[in-house]
Structure formats: structure tokens, C-alpha cells
Amino acid sequence: MSSKSAHPLPPIEIAIQRLPNGGGLPLPAYASEGAAGMDVVAAETLTLRAGTRHAVATGFAMAIPPGYEVQVRPRSGLALKHGITCLNTPGTIDSDYRGEVKVILANLSEDSFEIQRGDRIAQLVPAPVQRATFAEVQALDETVRGAGGFGSTGVASEAGGEIGDDAIEDDNIPDNVGSLSTMKIRHPGE
């Protein structure tokens, strides 16, 4: 084991503003030396009923440096033990957003879940942002995979014999998997 720092990249500085509803709460922080995400806590108390979602207040706002985002990710213990996860995962907090950070929690379990003010509800992971431009073309280059998606390469490992050229043929794609271009879009009220 090397004695070098576990963090090869220098930290970025993120300005954080505690809001009135965040008084007395800990700011986001790493729970251990090797943690990738900073724990964030709820600034409100609520009951998240089974099958519902709620944008949970955190009591702070941030000014993220240009060229970075902060990703909002679920906590694995809440997901495994209670069926509580973040929707839109990972969520993105843009560098030009200055409002209160809220965490969209969803209860995927069959039971209501109590969230107390100060409970750790999610993780924040700062990340660099790679910008892109699009170049419209008449056709895309060909690949072995082609348009196969949504599980078209199978589940089993090569040792199981399922992955290979035949795994992406149309007759190996489950009936409930299709191309996004052929899907009917449902609008509210339909």
C-alpha cells in the first residue's frame, strides 16, 4: 500500500450558503477518507408514502465553479434497506444554479418511510463537465452492435456463452424491448 494521498486530484472549492431552514444542520461532508460522495441531510421532516416522491429541502445553496457540476446520488443503505432512492439519478446541479438544493427522493417500497430533519438522504459528487457540439450527418458509421440496445447484448458473461455476435440479432431481443424511434409517446391525460 502506498503512502501517497488517496486523492490524486486537488479539491475544487464550492461556495455554499446556508439558508434559514438549514440552521443547525451539518453542511455536506465526506463520511470517510475514501468516500466519493459527500453526505447531505434533510432540512425538513416528512413522511414519504409508498410509491410517492418528494423534493426534499437541504437548507443550502451553492455556487459551483464553471466547468463542473455536482451530481446527486442515492445512498446505498437507504436503497437496499428501505427502497428509498433518488429519481433522475444521478441528478445534476449546474454551475449556474443558485437556488436551494433539493433531493428528489422516491419510495419504491410498500411501506411509508419517515424522514427526520438532519437525516442523511443522499450523496453529492462534484465532477468535471465535458461540453460537446453536435455535427448532423446523413448516416452514422457502422458498428457490430448497430442499433441494439436495452439489453441486446444479454445478461450472461462470456463464460455463460450468451455474449457474442449472435446476442445482438433481432430474434434475441426480448419482445418488450424496442427502438425509441418506434415508441408512442404518452402525454399527460392519455
146 shares a domain with 67: no
CA-atom Rg of the chain in angstroms: 21
How far is CA 128 from each of CA 51, 53, 62, 77, 86, rounded to the nearest angstrom? 33, 29, 16, 26, 21
164 shares a domain with 107: no
161 shares a domain with 116: no
Name the residue range of residue 139's domain. Answer: 133-176
Specify if 59 maps to a domain: yes
pTM higher than the cut 0.85: no
172 shares a domain with 105: no
164 shares a domain with 104: no
107 shares a domain with 42: yes
Residue 158 DSSP SS3: helix
Q: Could you tell me the CATH number of the domain that includes residue 38?
A: 2.70.40.10
Task: Please give the share of the chain, as a percent, with pLDDT higher than 70.
Answer: 79
- Exposure b/e, 43-70, CB count within 10 A at least 16 = b: bbeeebeeeebbebbbbbbbebeeeebb
Specify if 186 maps to a domain: no
Grid cell for residue 58:
437541504
Chain segment 165-186, per-residue pLDDT in tens = 444 455 555 555 555 445 455 5
Provide the number of structural domains found in the chain.
Answer: 2
**Residue 7 confidence (pLDDT):** 73
115 shares a domain with 58: yes
Query: How large is the average pLDDT for residues 67-79?
Result: 97
Chain segment 111-166, per-residue pLDDT in tens = 999 999 999 999 999 999 999 999 999 999 999 888 888 887 788 777 655 444 44
